[in-house]
């Protein structure tokens, strides 16, 4: 799974919902003798599923779906009750067939997370049995379980089961440690397309007015990877030709809601190429007999269902003229989900405590293979940016290690955050770089082939890597990074060829670092010389031959920050324009961390921004300027300092703008190098708020007017954000309402969210109030949740948004969408910057979000607000003076 919004995950287990108490078996009520036996996490192995037969009737336009499900199990011992999963299912019949006898059973959901006790009227013998269920359930409106949505006057349904929402669609042993074949039948209204993990067998036959779609049995799968989609999908078909690893062609199809029909070819061609690259990497053919790539408007990201992946529309619906960012996301996310087909689907984590490895590896290979697919897009630069961003989160005291015990269902979804993806991915990249690409790949291949169609743990993966490396120290190194929180800070002193390094934990100014120690795979570069070590002492000295200053993080792939002597910083800054892109990003990250710790200076950062401005890698060119801008946005910099910063940026960027040019029309730059296109976006963004950006603002605003009047060629989607903001900036509330109407009437996967976001960011209180109260059936729950974030992004409406959140939090948490809201709220709250606000947020929200998926994020937000305030209190005046001096 990949969440485009980091914390948008929803724990099905925690969703407020009614537990059906109805006894469904024909006999009288039974007494549950011992609830202490109820497994709130792993199910145990008393009953082990062998195979499933799902026969579901799915009409996406209806309110409910129904099913007949048979599960073959093996009972380890004679028993009169077992536990399995089902959430919100209305079960009308439950029986067990064992030893030729049919035994009635009582279905009782015992826990909101969907733990069910199934009690048999007679004791069943050990050995084989078949459990049979008839039931129905409501479709969800949000992407959890079986969900449906009306798009352009037609209804579609999809499934999203990770982590524990398969149980909301059918009775199951919903635990990733069980992998079995699934034989699936879908009964749908005639004329609809049905998609599942395996290929459909023949054409659907008609029965009782419905079309009956039968699918081939799947290879062994855990429940969370099962998929069932139904609707009038538009479809584009192709195939990946046979190759040395695969004797027959692999059928590939792109399936999307109908209005996207004309824009699916880019996804088809890209998918075929990415499949080929992944097969080469793993040295194994695509593990499943066909591949569907399906889209929905409302998934927050993408999901790796075996052979039937699901994506949010904008990830797959694009073309060669689409914004560079969108093409880059396509490459990275498709390679991520398809990488999971081997790492996750073919070999599955035994339990959710190892889901970090699944996601960390997929994150890394998404960038690695995305970059191999289109090297011109600069996808690897995104990988490093994501890692450094995760360091910001990991540097807080509130947090968690990458890998943590998961004892209960309610803890599972906390594992899907920036620590798992960003930090986990960076750690995998660090090990891959330390070992070298080929050795690392060899370790991956060994791990996959040893566990294919089965389950495995992190330790199995560590062992495979240590084995190919011939270096057992890799195991404690990986453990030290995944089993403890925090970012290592390496304080370095270079004297000639000798570098002395001391490790401690990084913290910002005014925060004492807890005692921590890591085993660090460390790579230095000095000129052409690259030297790698395994640092396992608090302080160690290393000898690095060569000339000039040592760069402490070769390639920028290490998960650590460094602190240098003033002279060493100066040397690196002076030559920053010649650093490889990844190292330039690492230098910015470490220097910025030093500034926020009260050691580095804004002046040094300004010099670095100057030096990097012409760097050929846009990620590097932009990094220092972006860090300074962030401090301005936080409100630490006073009006004098802000004015100087605007002049500083004009000085840096005006000449570049002349060289790059600007034309907002669609596709004008479609043929140029993507790095150049991305750089133009950065230059325009930097200048648009300055005194000399007047002409840019006028061009943008005029283009928006023309676009909204129907001239689609007037404004490239690359500029939607700026242009729509400016369009609304000059107009009144009526214009903002008009834009919202245009958004809701549109199914364009890029325009619609951009227009709604712009409407939330006007900084106008009346508009904010209108949006928060907006009740329009076309407005989706996921879209409503974004409004508050946009409103609080603007200083002028931040406090208004806060007061609204305080007075509505109870109702919102109690709503059917409450857990999504809880997960999203802390990000909006984290935009304040003072100790007083930190205390106020803690007072108003700590109790409210306790036990929700937003609990840890809230602690992080409070700490961010407090740290920002501490920095302002301790150094605000000095920082402001330094900004004034920027040249
Ligand atoms: Zn994933």
> What is the SS3 assignment for 702?
helix
CA distance 332 to 522: 27
Angle at 657 between CA 654 and CA 659, to 5 degrees: 115
pLDDT value of position 20: 34
Where is average pLDDT lowest: 61-70, 408-417, 481-490, 704-713?
A: 408-417
pLDDT value of position 35: 65
pLDDT value of position 211: 98
Assess if residue 851 is contained within a domain: no
> What is the SS3 assignment for 284?
coil
pLDDT exceeds cutoff 60 at 801:
yes
CB-facing half-sphere around the CA of 868: CA atoms within 13 A: 24
CB burial class (10 A; 0-12, 13-18, 19+) of residue 504?
middle
Find the 857 Cα to ligand 1 centroid distance in Å: 20
pLDDT exceeds cutoff 90 at 815:
no
Percent of the chain with pLDDT over 70: 96
Q: Where does residue 510 fall: left (phi above 0), alpha (psi -120 to 50 degrees), or beta otherwise?
A: left
CA distance 557 to 481: 14
pLDDT exceeds cutoff 50 at 5:
no
Closest alpha carbon to 606 in 648, 650, 643, 577: 648
Where is average pLDDT lowest: 93-102, 158-167, 707-716, 851-860?
A: 851-860
Structural domain boundaries enclosing 553 = 488-618
CA 563 to chain CA centroid, Å, is 31
Assess if residue 817 is contained within a domain: no
Assess if residue 682 is contained within a domain: no
> pLDDT tens digits for 176-188?
999 999 999 999 9
Tokens coding 341: 């087909």
- For the CA atoms of 797, 819, 136, 70, the dihedral, rounded to the nearest 10 degrees, stands at 140
CA distance 651 to 702: 26
Find the 600 Cα to ligand 1 centroid distance in Å: 37
* Distance in angstroms between the alpha carbons of the first and the last residue of the chain: 45
**Phi, psi torsion values for 363, nearest 5 degrees:** -60, -45
Q: For residue 704, how many other CB atoms are within 10 A of its CB?
A: 25
Find the 878 Cα to ligand 1 centroid distance in Å: 44
pLDDT value of position 830: 96
Query: Cβ neighbours of residue 363 under 8 Å, at least 6 residues apart?
Result: 2, 336, 383, 386, 421, 422, 424, 425, 428
CA distance 741 to 259: 19
Find the 557 Cα to ligand 1 centroid distance in Å: 21
Closest alpha carbon to 524 in 538, 505, 541: 541
Find the 787 Cα to ligand 1 centroid distance in Å: 27
Assess if residue 382 is contained within a domain: no
Find the 336 Cα to ligand 1 centroid distance in Å: 6
Residue 369, CA distances (Å) to 314, 355, 581 in order: 20, 21, 18
Contact 282, 445 (CB under 8 A): yes
Assess if residue 564 is contained within a domain: yes
Assess if residue 592 is contained within a domain: yes
pLDDT exceeds cutoff 90 at 305:
yes
Closest alpha carbon to 861 in 824, 823, 827: 827
Mean pLDDT across the stretch 291-296?
A: 98
Tokens coding 179: 């992998």
CA 856 to chain CA centroid, Å, is 17
Find the 140 Cα to ligand 1 centroid distance in Å: 22
Find the 859 Cα to ligand 1 centroid distance in Å: 25
pLDDT exceeds cutoff 50 at 23:
no
CA distance 1 to 162: 8
> What is the SS3 assignment for 182?
strand
Find the 304 Cα to ligand 1 centroid distance in Å: 7
> What is the SS3 assignment for 418?
helix
pLDDT value of position 22: 36
CB burial class (10 A; 0-12, 13-18, 19+) of residue 694?
exposed
List of E strands, 112-240: 115-124, 127-138, 145-151, 154-160, 182-188, 193-196, 205-207, 210-214, 228-231, 234-240
pLDDT value of position 4: 60
pLDDT value of position 7: 29
Assess if residue 719 is contained within a domain: no
- The per-residue DSSP string of 547-614 comes to SSPPBSSGGG-SS-EEE--HHHHHHHHHTGGGS-HHHHHHHHHHHHHHHHTTSS-HHHHHHHHHHHTT
Under DSSP, the state recorded for 189 is -
CATH no. for residue 586? 2.60.40.1910
Closest alpha carbon to 15 in 358, 305, 413, 296: 413
Largest CA distance in the chain: 87
Q: For residue 851, how many other CB atoms are within 10 A of its CB?
A: 11
Catalytic positions, please?
Answer: 337
Tokens coding 741: 């109407």
Find the 692 Cα to ligand 1 centroid distance in Å: 44
Under DSSP, the state recorded for 664 is -
pLDDT value of position 415: 83
Find the 412 Cα to ligand 1 centroid distance in Å: 14
Pairing of the two strands 291-296 and 250-256: parallel
CA distance 461 to 463: 5
Closest alpha carbon to 89 in 110, 106, 66, 111: 66
Pairing of the two strands 182-188 and 47-57: parallel
Find the 301 Cα to ligand 1 centroid distance in Å: 9
> pLDDT tens digits for 124-138?
999 999 999 999 999
Assess if residue 611 is contained within a domain: yes
CA distance 171 to 164: 12
CA distance 759 to 766: 11
Contact 528, 513 (CB under 8 A): no
What residues pack around ion ligand 1 (CB closer than 5 A)? 1-2, 359, 362
CA distance 766 to 747: 27
Percent of the chain with pLDDT over 90: 90
> Which residue numbers belong to the known binding site?
336, 340, 359
Tokens coding 590: 């470490």
CB-facing half-sphere around the CA of 746: CA atoms within 13 A: 17
**How many H-runs (helices) and E-runs (strands) does the chain carry?**
26, 28
pLDDT value of position 36: 73
- Provide the pLDDT confidence category of residue 783 given band limits of 50, 70 and 90: very high
Residue 857, CA distances (Å) to 559, 862, 867 in order: 22, 9, 15
Where is average pLDDT lowest: 367-376, 846-855, 856-865?
A: 846-855
Q: Where do we find the tokens 């602190």?
A: 563
Where is average pLDDT lowest: 75-79, 80-84, 819-823?
A: 819-823
> pLDDT tens digits for 549-559?
999 999 999 99
Closest alpha carbon to 14 in 848, 813, 819: 819
Mean pLDDT across the stretch 212-239?
A: 98
Closest alpha carbon to 721 in 743, 742, 751, 695: 751
- Cis previous bond, 171, omega within 30: no
Buried b (16+ CB within 10 A) or exposed e, 208-235: eebbbbbbbbbbbbbbbbbbbbbbbbbe
Number of residues in the chain:
887
Q: Where do we find the tokens 């570098």?
A: 499
pLDDT exceeds cutoff 70 at 840:
yes
The pTM of the full predicted model, rounded to 2 decimals, is 0.95
Query: Cβ neighbours of residue 537 under 8 Å, at least 6 residues apart?
Result: none
3-state secondary structure 825-840: HHHHHCCCCCHHHHHH
- Provide the pLDDT confidence category of residue 27 given band limits of 50, 70 and 90: very low
pLDDT value of position 518: 98
Q: How many domains, the chain?
A: 1
Mean pLDDT across the stretch 350-378?
A: 96
Q: Where do we find the tokens 């996207």?
A: 260
Find the 459 Cα to ligand 1 centroid distance in Å: 20
What's the helix, strand, coil split of the chain in %, to 5?
Answer: 45, 20, 30
Contact 120, 99 (CB under 8 A): no
Mean pLDDT across the stretch 466-489?
A: 96
Q: How much is the mean pLDDT over the chain?
A: 94
Closest alpha carbon to 505 in 533, 471, 538: 538
- Cis previous bond, 258, omega within 30: no
Mean pLDDT across the stretch 247-263?
A: 97
Find the 152 Cα to ligand 1 centroid distance in Å: 30
Find the 561 Cα to ligand 1 centroid distance in Å: 26
Find the 384 Cα to ligand 1 centroid distance in Å: 17
> Which residue numbers belong to the known binding site for Zn(2+)?
336, 340, 359
Mean pLDDT across the stretch 51-76?
A: 98
Using only the alpha carbons of the chain, give its radius of gyration.
Answer: 28
pLDDT value of position 14: 30
Angle at 269 between CA 337 and CA 155, to 5 degrees: 65
pLDDT value of position 781: 86
Buried b (16+ CB within 10 A) or exposed e, 115-129: bbbbbbbeebeeeeb
């Amino acid at each position: 799974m990949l969440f485009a919004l980091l914390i948008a995950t929803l724990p099905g287990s925690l969703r407020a919902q009614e537990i059906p108490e109805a006894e469904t078996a024909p006999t009288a009520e039974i007494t549950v003798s011992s609830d202490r036996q109820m497994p709130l996490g792993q199910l145990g192995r008393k009953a082990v599923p062998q195979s499933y037969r799902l026969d579901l009737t799915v009409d996406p336009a209806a309110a409910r779906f129904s099913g007949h499900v048979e599960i073959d199990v093996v009972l380890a011992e004679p028993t009169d009750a077992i536990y399995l999963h089902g959430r919100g299912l209305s079960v009308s019949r439950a029986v067990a067939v064992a030893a030729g006898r049919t035994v009635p059973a009582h279905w009782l959901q015992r826990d909101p997370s969907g733990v069910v006790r199934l009690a048999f009227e007679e004791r069943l013998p050990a050995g084989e049995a078949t459990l049979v269920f008839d039931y129905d359930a409501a479709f969800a409106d949000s992407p959890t379980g079986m969900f449906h949505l009306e798009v352009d006057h037609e209804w579609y349904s999809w499934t999203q089961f990770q982590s524990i929402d398969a149980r909301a669609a059918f009775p199951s042993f919903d635990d990733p440690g069980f992998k079995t074949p699934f034989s699936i039948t879908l009964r749908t209204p005639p004329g609809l397309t049905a998609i599942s993990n395996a290929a459909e067998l023949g054409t659907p036959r008609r029965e009782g007015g419905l079309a009956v779609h039968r699918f081939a049995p799947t290879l062994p799968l855990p429940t969370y990877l099962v998929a069932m989609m139904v609707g009038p999908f538009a479809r584009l078909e192709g195939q990946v030709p046979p190759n040395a690893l695969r004797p027959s062609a692999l059928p590939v199809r792109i399936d999307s809601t109908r209005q996207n029909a004309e824009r699916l070819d880019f996804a088809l061609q890209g998918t075929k190429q990415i499949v080929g690259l992944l097969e080469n990497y793993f040295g194994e053919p695509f593990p499943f007999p066909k591949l569907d790539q399906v889209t929905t408007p409302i998934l927050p990201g993408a999901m790796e269902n075996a052979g039937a992946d699901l994506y949010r529309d904008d990830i797959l619906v694009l073309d060669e003229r689409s914004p560079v960012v969108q093409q880059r996301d396509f490459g990275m996310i498709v390679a991520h989900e398809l990488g999971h087909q081997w790492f996750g689907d073919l070999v599955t984590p035994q339990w959710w405590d190892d889901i970090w490895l699944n996601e960390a590896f997929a994150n890394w290979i998404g960038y690695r293979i995305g970059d191999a697919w289109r090297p011109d897009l600069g996808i690897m630069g995104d990988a490093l940016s994501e890692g450094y961003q995760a360091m910001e989160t990991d540097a807080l005291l509130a947090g968690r290690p990458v890998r943590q015990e998961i004892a209960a269902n309610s803890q599972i979804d906390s594992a899907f955050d920036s620590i798992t993806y960003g930090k986990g991915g960076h750690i995998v990249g660090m090990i891959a770089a330390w070992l070298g690409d080929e050795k690392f790949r060899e370790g991956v291949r060994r791990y996959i082939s040893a566990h294919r169609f089965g389950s495995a743990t992190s330790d199995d993966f560590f062992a495979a890597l240590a084995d190919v490396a011939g270096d057992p120290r890799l195991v404690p190194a990986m453990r030290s990074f995944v089993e403890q929180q925090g970012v290592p800070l390496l304080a370095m002193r270079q004297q000639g060829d000798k570098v002395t390094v001391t490790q401690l934990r990084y913290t910002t100014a005014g925060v004492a670092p807890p005692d921590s120690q890591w085993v660090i795979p460390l790579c230095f570069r000095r000129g052409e010389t690259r030297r790698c070590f395994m640092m396992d002492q608090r302080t160690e000295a290393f000898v690095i031959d060569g000339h000039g200053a040592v760069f402490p993080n070769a390639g920028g792939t290490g998960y650590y920050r460094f602190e240098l002597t003033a002279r060493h910083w100066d040397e690196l800054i002076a030559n920053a324009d010649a650093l490889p892109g990844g190292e330039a990003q690492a230098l910015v990250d470490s220097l910025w961390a030093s500034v926020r710790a009260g050691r580095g200076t804004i002046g040094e950062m300004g010099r670095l921004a100057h030096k990097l401005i012409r760097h050929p890698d846009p990620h590097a060119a932009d990094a220092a300027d972006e860090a300074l801008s962030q401090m301005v946005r936080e409100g630490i910099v006073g009006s004098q300092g802000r004015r100087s910063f605007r002049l500083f940026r004009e000085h840096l960027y005006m000449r570049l703008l002349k060289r790059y040019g600007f034309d907002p029309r669609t596709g004008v730059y479609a043929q140029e190098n993507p790095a150049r296109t991305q750089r133009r976006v950065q230059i325009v963004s930097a200048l648009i708020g300055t005194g000399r950006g007047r002409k840019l603002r006028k061009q943008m605003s005029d283009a928006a007017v023309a676009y909204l009047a129907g001239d689609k060629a007037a404004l490239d989607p690359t500029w939607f954000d700026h242009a729509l903001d400016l369009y609304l900036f000059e107009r009144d509330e009526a214009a903002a309402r008009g834009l919202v109407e245009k958004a809701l009437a549109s199914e364009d996967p890029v325009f619609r969210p951009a227009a709604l976001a712009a409407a939330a960011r006007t900084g106008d209180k009346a508009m904010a109030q209108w949006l928060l109260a907006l009740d329009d059936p076309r407005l989706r729950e996921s879209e409503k949740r974004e409004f508050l974030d946009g409103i609080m992004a603007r200083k002028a409406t931040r406090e208004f948004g806060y007061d609204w959140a305080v007075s509505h939090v109870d109702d919102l948490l109690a709503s059917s969408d409450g857990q999504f809201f809880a997960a999203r709220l802390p990000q909006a709250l984290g935009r304040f910057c003072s100790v007083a606000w930190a205390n106020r947020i803690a007072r108003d929200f700590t109790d409210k979000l306790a036990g929700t998926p937003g609990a840890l994020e809230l602690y992080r937000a409070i700490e961010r607000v407090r740290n920002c305030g501490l920095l302002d209190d301790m150094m605000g005046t000095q920082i402001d003076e330094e900004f004034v001096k920027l040249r």
